[in-house]
Structure formats: structure tokens, C-alpha cells
Structure 1
């Protein structure tokens, strides 16, 4: 069945006349009439009754109309999808902090790949300031950074990651209802530090003590801190996402106490304003729906 004939049929109905449909389609009025007649022969029925200059759908025409409209809508969606895929780059350059690279992207990118199977990824790991600079310079398409604002960037909060004290299996703090910050401060500490204000708040939680916490290991690497705790070398404040698997398997245990309640690391997703909107929105939607981030 000829799509042009179906298009002429729908346009005649929409604009109420053969002449107007011909004008919109950049055709002559006899050409539109010929297309309608060809469609009527294909369907073996009469689609219009002509009453002088007026036209009116027949019962057959009324029944066929929703199918004709559906065919054109499906065709238009297909065209848009093809044009969109042509406009999207085959490579998506992603800049992210180390923690996002280790604990977030392995959960997001496979799901994203299912939506855009032809895409491949280039992941650049760096600090927040460097990633912002690279996004502004169009060296990176989408960045995952600590909370930041810039007038030329679109930025949305992707998730908040609570910072909690984590101890190893069998530690005496587990299940202790009388645990105090004083007792916590005397236990050997593995202190992970990334320079963010949230970590300064952790330090301040111990300022009222007569002695500083017993920091035995000081590191700027999350994996190092976590593995030292797993080896029972000490206890550590860790972002919850980095310890998700170990907590799920019973190897690490989060301990909550009031002095550090509500401290978390916020991760934002950024891109240049008005650019990469399709990918940006898809990643945001995936993060909201993925059980790992709930």
C-alpha cells in the first residue's frame, strides 16, 4: 500500500479540503485526487462522499481513518529515531571521580548500553575541578563530580552517599547499644580523606574529645581503606556505596551514632548547557530506577 496515498487521505481530512491538502503537500489538486482514487482502488471501497464542494467521510472512511493515522505516526517515529541516532555520537566521553569510576559506572553503563547498543565509552578519571574544566572545554561530554555549580553547565544531583563508620566481622562495636564516640575514638582508625567538607565534619565530631582519634593509617584511596578494615587493621568511615557488596555479604558492618548522622557525599552529573541532553536524561533516569542507588 502506498504511503503517499495514505498521507493524502489523512491530510484531506485534517484540512477539510482537497485544495488545502494539495497546498500543504506541495502538490496540485488533481494529484491529491488521483492519490485518493488510487487508495480507494487499493482498499476496494469509497472513502469520501462529495456533496458539491463539500466532502464527507463514508462509513468505510471513518473505519479506516484511525489505522491511516497510526501508520503515519509510526512512520514519523521511525524517521525521528533514525535522525536521532545519526545525531548522537558513537563515543560518549565520561569524566568521573575515582569513587564513581569504581562503584557507580559498573552498575550504570551496562544498563545504558542496552538502550544505546551502538555506543562505546571513554572513561576519564580525575578530580572534580579537572572534570568541570574538561566539560567546559568540550574534552568530556558528561561528568560525574562532587556537588558543583557553574552558569554554563546543566547539573543535577545523581545521588547522595551516606558516610558511615564501618567495622569488620566480629568487632565488639556490632550491636552495642551503649557505644559512645569516646570508645570509637580509642579504636585503631583507618582514615580515608578526600578533602571534601563532609570529611571535615567527621574530624569535628571528635574535636570535643580529650584525645584525637587513634589514626593508625591515613590514606586517600578508598579501596586501600576498605581492605585494611577487611584485614582487621582498624575501623574506618567509608561512603556506603564503596562498601555495598561487603556489607551485603556480611564482611563489613555499618555503625551509626548521632555525632555523624546525616553526613554524606553528593554526586552530581554535569554537561554543557543544551548539549548531550538525550544521554544526560537517560543516565539520570537509570540512576533513579536502579536499586543500587535507592
Structure 2
């Protein structure tokens, strides 16, 4: 049981701790929680005092979990999720009080998934949709803590507490600046791009299906044994660098739809590469399955043929 006591963790403290662990900083957590930064710091100080342990290592504005913090995190997420599950279970039985919380990778919000959302809201006009955009890792964290009923992300999550439901996949294209020396819209293979500087996301330890791993595997398969890959951890930064002629990248169309429309970027198809990235829905296996989330999954299944490009 979570009660308010100076020697026991409070729900506010748990929520603040999980949020900081998720976003990696006190400033961003204060924005997410709509609380002042001193209030956020005070809750963590009180939590650390009650546990007699330091939970975060601070380095400027960024923080990382200590060993004690890593030990606490799964239990804190479970406690927070249980409380939120209880709230939703009650609201699911209250007429006119249905809210569906969906976390989605930002680029997918500009894909055919929007069609599924439109169909869902038209069919269930009594349901309020609370939409959050995040990275794939953050989407899973929001679902794990119960802050989202359902998440839409790239690649299945290996967390045994989460179920990953395949939706299809998105094809990846070589993205180049409009004035790139190769003017063809299609290439037989990647060899004409052997001397290019590539832009890629950071490597993720143990993540064989990550964007970086996918890029490295396809470059190696094309015979590019020692490609130049510059690590850029922001999708927006990658696009701006490609626009400036400082590299090329592999991306799904949903990531660059607007840039392709206005002509600031151009895509080259390499059919022989057949690079694709899976899109999945994630939900907690033992969590409360809200009526709204179940209904949306059905609408999503109905739209799967048009949701993403299929092989």
C-alpha cells in the first residue's frame, strides 16, 4: 500500500522518480508533470531520504540512474501502473468518462495510422483520445508505467512485461539532398553510394533490430565494408544535415514526407536492398485492457492493409 508518510514512498514521489528516469532530466520532468523544478527536486530529495539511498547521478542538466535507482525503477513503474489501472477500471464503468491514452512515435503520427485514428474517433465519439508523441523507447516506458493504454513504435520490445503486436512494416529509402550528384530515382544497389558519408542513430547495445544495426547490415551486405557513419541522435538534425549536403541517410517516407513535398530532400529507391522497419503496437500483458484500447486495436487491425507498406 502507498500511503503518505515520511518513512514511506508517496505516489507523488514515485511518479516524479519514474518521470525523471524516463526523460533523463529534472527540467523536462517538471515540464511534463506541470510542476516547478524546485517541487520536483524536493520530491526526489524526500524519496532519497526515506530510502536512505541516492537514486540519480547528476551531470549538468542530465541525470542517470544509480544502482539503487535501477533497482527501484521496475517496482516504481509497476506501482504507478497499478494505480493508473485502477483509475481506468473505474472510469471504464462510468458512462461518458472514457479516455484513451495513446503513445506514438512522432513519425508514425504522419502515416496511415492517422486514418485508423480518424475512423476510431468517428465510430466512438464518446471517447476522448489523449495522444502523446515520443521515441520508441519512451513509448514503451509510457505504456510500462501505465501512462498510456497503448503504444505504437518501431521494432518489437523485448521486455517480457510488454506484448508487441505486429502491424506491418515501413520501407526505408536512401534520403539525399535535392542537388545530389545521383539524379536517378532508383538504383540497382548501394555501390554508387560507396563514398558517401552516412548519418545514423547511436548504436543500441543488444538491439539487433535498431536503426543503426539495420543501416550497418545493409551497407555491409552491399559490399561497403568500412562506410563512414556519423552518429546523430536526432531525426530532425539528421534531416537538416542531409539538406545541407553533409551526408545521406536511410529513412522511411513517414519521416520526411513534408521535406519531400517541398523539395528540400529527395529519396532514392534501392529495391534490391529491401530495407524495412517493423511497426508494432505495445501493451502491458498484465495491465488493465481498457474498452477504448481494445476497440482501437480492432480498428487498427481493420486498417492494417493500408496502414504501412507490406512486403
TM range (shorter): 0.5 to 0.7
TM-score (norm 1): 0.55
Q: How far did residue 162 of structure 1 move?
A: 1.8
Q: Tell me which protein shows more helix as a share of its residues.
A: 1
* Contiguous gaps of at least 5 residues in structure 1: 1-83
Matches within 5 A, 1:125-144: 125-144=133-152
What is the aligned partner in structure 1 of residue 281 from structure 2? 269
Distance 1:265 1:116 in 2: 31
Distance 2:280 2:187 in 1: 37
Specify the structure having the higher radius of gyration (Cα): 1
Contact 2:173 2:253 in 1 (8 A): yes
Selected match of 1:113 from 102, 121, 125? 121
Q: How far did residue 247 of structure 1 move?
A: 4.1
Contact 1:154 1:272 in 2 (8 A): yes
Contact 1:89 1:119 in 2 (8 A): yes
Q: How far did residue 94 of structure 1 move?
A: 1.2
* Contiguous gaps of at least 5 residues in structure 2: 1-91
Selected match of 2:173 from 164, 170, 173? 164
Q: How far did residue 256 of structure 1 move?
A: 0.7
Deviations along 1:223-262, one digit per CA (max 9) or x if unpaired, are: 222233234333211123213454466641223164xx23
Q: How far did residue 159 of structure 1 move?
A: 2.5
Contact 2:200 2:231 in 1 (8 A): yes
Specify the SS of the correspondent of 2:171. Answer: strand
What is the aligned partner in structure 1 of residue 226 from structure 2? 212
Specify the SS of the correspondent of 1:226. Answer: helix
Distance 1:207 1:293 in 2: 24
Contact 2:184 2:268 in 1 (8 A): no
Distance 1:95 1:177 in 2: 34
Distance 1:249 1:152, change over 3 A: same
Contact 2:108 2:254 in 1 (8 A): no
Specify the SS of the correspondent of 1:123. Answer: strand
Specify the SS of the correspondent of 2:118. Answer: helix
What is the aligned partner in structure 2 of residue 63 from structure 1? none
Is the aligned partner of 1:99 residue 2:107? yes
Specify the SS of the correspondent of 2:184. Answer: coil
Q: How far did residue 191 of structure 1 move?
A: 2.9
Is the aligned partner of 1:221 residue 2:234? yes
Contact 2:218 2:275 in 1 (8 A): no
Specify the SS of the correspondent of 2:274. Answer: coil
Deviations along 1:32-64, one digit per CA (max 9) or x if unpaired, are: xxxxxxxxxxxxxxxxxxxxxxxxxxxxxxxxx
> Pairwise CA RMSD of aligned residues?
3.7
Q: How far did residue 101 of structure 1 move?
A: 4.4
Matches within 5 A, 1:224-243: 224-243=237-256
Equivalent residue pairs, number: 207
What is the aligned partner in structure 2 of residue 123 from structure 1? 131
Selected match of 2:269 from 233, 255, 268? 255
Is the aligned partner of 1:278 residue 2:295? yes
Deviations along 1:149-185, one digit per CA (max 9) or x if unpaired, are: 6666554212301222122324232328887645413
Q: How far did residue 93 of structure 1 move?
A: 0.9
Distance 2:252 2:149 in 1: 26
TM-score (norm 2): 0.52
Q: How far did residue 130 of structure 1 move?
A: 4.9
Deviations along 1:55-103, one digit per CA (max 9) or x if unpaired, are: xxxxxxxxxxxxxxxxxxxxxxxxxxxxx99668532111233433455
Distance 1:160 1:212 in 2: 28
Distance 1:126 1:211, change over 3 A: same
The structure with higher relative contact order (CA 8 Å, sep 6+) is 2
